[in-house]
Structure 1
């Protein structure tokens, strides 16, 4: 596998998971265990890809106040990364768990200077080569115009990279301009992009096909516990996953995207790529906190994933 997965994260996080002795808004809840991990959707994709042995580079914006802590977390997973430092601090997102309950709190993140887009473009140019997958994932700083983000993606596309997008703020018109290689919405994001829409298999397939007609090459729709639907102009398949105990849904979509990308770069066909994507998403929900899919667990699940044409 000589091609790489380059992930671009404009609004990363330090993900703090707290396990408490209770979850009562009127009383003190004491922390019995905690865990810190480098986060952000693109970072998560790289973490999973790295665990499968795929070459990957994280490119991210990072507030300098806690950039060292963030770098240490990336180093602990032996990730290759390039950071653009800005003022302020990287946001800390909180996941609070007690028993079967989870409370997720995401902060906004710092503002970024207008020059950050040009800096990112220069940095990506130094890393990406034709045929690499460039995954743009997660939110962007509130002060960065969506138009600037689109221009960044188009410049990277011109370098010959396969563009994958997992962001919840782009419209059908944006995707028509970008014509990405892959997008990975969940059902709610898909319904926002293509309205109106229901949640039946036919509804999801029709909405995904509308994206394909508007230039998206591959659409991978996360169905949560019900698996995945994949659609291109030529192929439509559904992956059904085994029932498992769900401990946390955080990072499941990121794990699925990473699984698909890893399989694709390993020259697997669409069926096997979708199968690994579904297995990775399922493996993720079986882990606590912000634990992502592990290759060992995903490989145990992959043979139980049923993939059939729609």
Structure 2
């Protein structure tokens, strides 16, 4: 069972407005809302790929109830801790090729609620084979929380995949997560190295993560990805595709990697599934959505080269 953690979930509302400009009033009949947060994007893709998954995190208020109902409608198993605060709402306005986002920070969570979640997480680990944690944390959560969750997982021998950034990521590195996925910009900021080519990225990854993380993926968008795994580097190249909506492709990539790990695929097949899942998401209108047949087709077109 793959367990996904979303520590700051949201209701994601998308409005489609032609010729959007600030300072004007617009009406739209085209909009959608989904259960959002990076971890829930991962959850949906794992579910679509056919692997068993349970989503957890913290939810509160009417927005939290709405989010749970959306997961129920999708047939996704979940076990969230209820808190006093109201789950956030995030808004995206899509106009032509541009997207404007308004992201709420999320509720403030009390220390006792964090402690209760730790106990809730311990129980979920009893049936977990892989843990995936993605995204930001709620206000009030200690910056070391991901590190603590990783340590609990490692005590039970369960791989822990982490997709976050900033200080939370750097704290978590000390616990040795099984997998992390910085993008080029995040790696550049963390290392202080100007990344002009693969060799620069290798130098930055070596400086920050070698000997601390089993697998590091540097996502390069349409240019594929670079992986460090158990001391060796791999370069992944992807076919050219028609991109409709790249939002959620990173989360879909993590989902594919988790599924490959849960199914005990070879490393090369695992990263092909990961990158194919991310690419397939970009070909869909919806965020955090893949066509499983398309994923299988893309895997055949992806090249994995050991450097």
Structure 1 residue 10 and structure 2 residue 16: aligned?
no
In structure 2, the residue matched to 1:286 is: 283
In structure 2, the residue matched to 1:62 is: 59
Question: Is the alpha carbon distance of 1:307 and 1:152 closer, same or farther for their aligned partners in structure 2, counting shifts above 3 Å?
Answer: closer
Instruction: Point out 4+ residue stretches in structure 1 off by more than 3 angstroms.
Output: 170-173
Name the SS for the 2:144 alignment partner. helix
- What is the CA-CA distance between 1:239 and the residue it aligns to? 1.3
Name the SS for the 1:27 alignment partner. coil
1:221 counterpart (218, 221, 224): 218
Q: Which runs of 5+ in 1 are unaligned?
A: none
Structure 1 residue 165 and structure 2 residue 176: aligned?
no
5 Å matches for 1:77-226?
77-129=74-126, 132-170=129-167, 174-226=171-223
- Give the conservation status (yes or no) of the 8 Å contact 1:121–1:155: no
- What is the CA-CA distance between 1:73 and the residue it aligns to? 0.7
For residues 3 and 246 of structure 2, the distance between their equivalents in structure 1, rounded to whole angstroms, comes to 24
Q: Which piece of structure 1 moves more, 145-154 or 81-90?
A: 145-154
In structure 2, the residue matched to 1:74 is: 71
- After TM superposition, the score normalised by the length of structure 2 is 0.93
- What is the CA-CA distance between 1:210 and the residue it aligns to? 3.0
1:29 counterpart (1, 26, 47): 26
Name the SS for the 2:257 alignment partner. helix
In structure 2, the residue matched to 1:45 is: 42
- After TM superposition, the score normalised by the length of structure 1 is 0.92
- What is the CA-CA distance between 1:271 and the residue it aligns to? 1.0
Provide, for residues 203-232 of structure 1, a one-character-per-residue CA deviation record: whole Å limited to 9, x for no partner: 112222334424111001111111111112
Name the SS for the 1:237 alignment partner. strand
Question: Is the alpha carbon distance of 1:176 and 1:280 closer, same or farther for their aligned partners in structure 2, counting shifts above 3 Å?
Answer: closer
Name the SS for the 1:128 alignment partner. helix
Q: Figure out how many residues of one structure are paired with residues of the other and give that number.
A: 307
For residues 170 and 42 of structure 2, the distance between their equivalents in structure 1, rounded to whole angstroms, comes to 26
- What is the CA-CA distance between 1:130 and the residue it aligns to? 7.8
For residues 266 and 173 of structure 1, the distance between their equivalents in structure 2, rounded to whole angstroms, comes to 29
For residues 164 and 28 of structure 2, the distance between their equivalents in structure 1, rounded to whole angstroms, comes to 32
Q: Which runs of 5+ in 2 are unaligned?
A: none
- Give the conservation status (yes or no) of the 8 Å contact 2:63–2:88: no
In structure 2, the residue matched to 1:19 is: 16
- What is the CA-CA distance between 1:65 and the residue it aligns to? 2.9
- Give the conservation status (yes or no) of the 8 Å contact 2:3–2:132: yes
- What is the CA-CA distance between 1:173 and the residue it aligns to? 5.1
Provide, for residues 108-148 of structure 1, a one-character-per-residue CA deviation record: whole Å limited to 9, x for no partner: 11111112322222212222248721112100012222024
- What is the CA-CA distance between 1:34 and the residue it aligns to? 1.0
For residues 82 and 171 of structure 1, the distance between their equivalents in structure 2, rounded to whole angstroms, comes to 24
- Give the conservation status (yes or no) of the 8 Å contact 1:172–1:193: no
In structure 2, the residue matched to 1:269 is: 266
- What is the CA-CA distance between 1:74 and the residue it aligns to? 0.7
Q: Which piece of structure 1 moves more, 130-139 or 56-65?
A: 130-139
Question: Is the alpha carbon distance of 1:9 and 1:227 closer, same or farther for their aligned partners in structure 2, counting shifts above 3 Å?
Answer: same
- Give the conservation status (yes or no) of the 8 Å contact 1:89–1:110: yes
CA RMSD of superposed structures (Å):
1.9
- Give the conservation status (yes or no) of the 8 Å contact 2:144–2:171: no
